[in-house]
Each structure stands twice: as structure tokens, then as C-alpha cells.
């Protein structure tokens, strides 16, 4: 098992590049099918989802646009349960199909806040494309429309996911060792 150190923590390889690519392709195929002829707006959550959003966008074959927003609720390896909007949505989305692109949903606190903010702007519909979902940590009731994979409630890094800003550049996903 391959291990990496990110700052003072040690992580072991959990999800490889091949599995990541297959999950992204499946999500893109579903979006291509569901949004054929609709020109959706992808709304990527910074900073974590930028790699997933980039890979996903290259696999989507229908006309679409992308924009970014940034919310934060994590410090270190745990959630603060307080959501801060750091970069807001500036695009007009009234009457648009919006697909939120998120790297991970665990408690759902951040996504719930983003959904509430977006719905105030009257989009035609809002869907969520999420790469990793932690059902054991999930505390909310919204559904994820396009899901890469369900994972245990372990802290992970790589493929855009970080520990205090580090580890995003790892091509595989690693989980913290106990």
C-alpha cells in the first residue's frame, strides 16, 4: 500500500487514477444524456472541486458553461459547522439549468447553504454532481443527482481534496491512517 505524508499526517492510497477517471466518465455520460440540447451552467465549488470540474468539463460533449463560487466550512481535518461565502455567484442564473460541481459532500452543511443561496436566484433547476459522498457523516436531506462514489467517513486528500491547503496535487485519493 502506497503511503504519503501531507504536512504532519500520513495517508494511504485509497482510490486510484483509473477508478477516478471511470467515475468522472460515468457522471459526464449521465449529464450528456440528461442535458442534451439544454446548455447547463456548471457551478464549481472552489478550491476542492477545481480538478474534478476540469476533468468533468473535458468529458462533457454538450454545450455548457462553467463558473465558480467558494464557500468554506473546514479547518484542519474537521468541519467548523459554520459556512462562510468567500466568493459569491455573479452570473445571472434565472431560468438556467445549474449543475453544482462539488468534490465531496460529508455533513452537507456547506451544500445546504449553497443550495439555499442559488434557489433565491430562480434557476430553472439545480442538480448536484459530487465526486465523493460520505453517507455516514451526512446530516441533511437533499439528494445528489450525479455521484462518483460513496466512501467511508475517513479524512481524505488528493484529486483536489486537501489538508490545510496541501495534498490537492496528488493524482490519487488517499485516506488518513489511524
Could you tell me if residue 168 is left (phi over 0), alpha (psi between -120 and 50 degrees) or otherwise beta?
alpha
CA distance 8 to 10: 7
CATH architecture of 17-164: 3-Layer(aba) Sandwich (3.40)
3-state SS record for 62-118: CCCEEEEEEEEEEECCEEEEEEEEEECCCCCCCCCEEEEEEEEECCCHHHHHHHHHH
DSSP label at residue 167: S
Residue of 103, 106, 162, 172 marked catalytic: 106
Q: What pLDDT was estimated at residue 87? A: 66
pTM given for the model = 0.91
Q: What pLDDT was estimated at residue 89? A: 78
Model confidence pLDDT, tens digit, residues 89-147 = 788 999 999 999 999 999 998 899 899 999 999 999 999 999 999 999 999 999 999 99
Residue 29 confidence (pLDDT) above 80: yes
Mean pLDDT for the stretch of residues 153-174: 96
Residue 76 confidence class, pLDDT cut points 50, 70, 90: low
CA distance 54 to 14: 21
Q: What pLDDT was estimated at residue 99? A: 98
Q: Where are the domains of the chain?
A: 17-164
For residue 172, indicate whether it is catalytic. Answer: no
Least confident of 31-40, 71-80, 115-124, 133-142: 71-80
The percentage of the chain sitting over the pLDDT mark of 90, rounded to a whole number, equals 83
Amino acid at each position: 500500500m502506497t503511503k504519503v505524508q501531507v504536512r504532519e499526517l500520513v495517508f494511504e492510497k485509497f482510490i486510484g487514477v483509473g477508478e477516478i477517471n471511470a467515475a468522472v466518465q460515468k457522471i459526464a455520460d449521465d449529464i450528456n444524456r440528461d442535458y442534451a440540447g439544454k446548455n447547463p451552467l456548471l457551478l464549481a465549488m472552489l478550491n476542492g472541486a477545481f480538478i474534478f470540474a476540469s476533468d468533468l468539463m473535458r468529458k462533457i460533449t454538450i454545450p455548457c458553461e462553467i463558473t465558480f463560487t467558494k464557500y468554506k466550512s473546514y479547518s484542519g481535518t474537521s468541519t467548523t459547522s459554520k459556512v462562510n461565502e468567500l466568493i459569491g455567484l455573479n452570473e445571472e442564473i434565472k431560468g438556467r439549468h445549474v449543475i453544482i460541481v462539488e468534490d465531496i459532500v460529508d455533513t452537507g452543511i456547506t451544500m445546504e447553504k449553497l443550495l439555499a443561496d442559488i434557489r433565491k436566484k430562480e434557476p430553472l433547476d439545480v442538480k448536484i454532481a459530487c465526486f465523493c459522498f460520505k453517507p455516514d457523516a451526512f446530516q441533511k436531506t437533499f439528494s445528489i443527482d450525479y455521484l462518483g462514489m460513496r466512501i467511508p467517513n475517513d479524512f481524505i486528500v488528493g484529486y483536489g481534496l486537501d489538508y490545510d491547503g496541501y495534498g490537492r496535487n496528488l493524482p490519487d485519493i488517499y485516506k488518513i491512517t489511524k
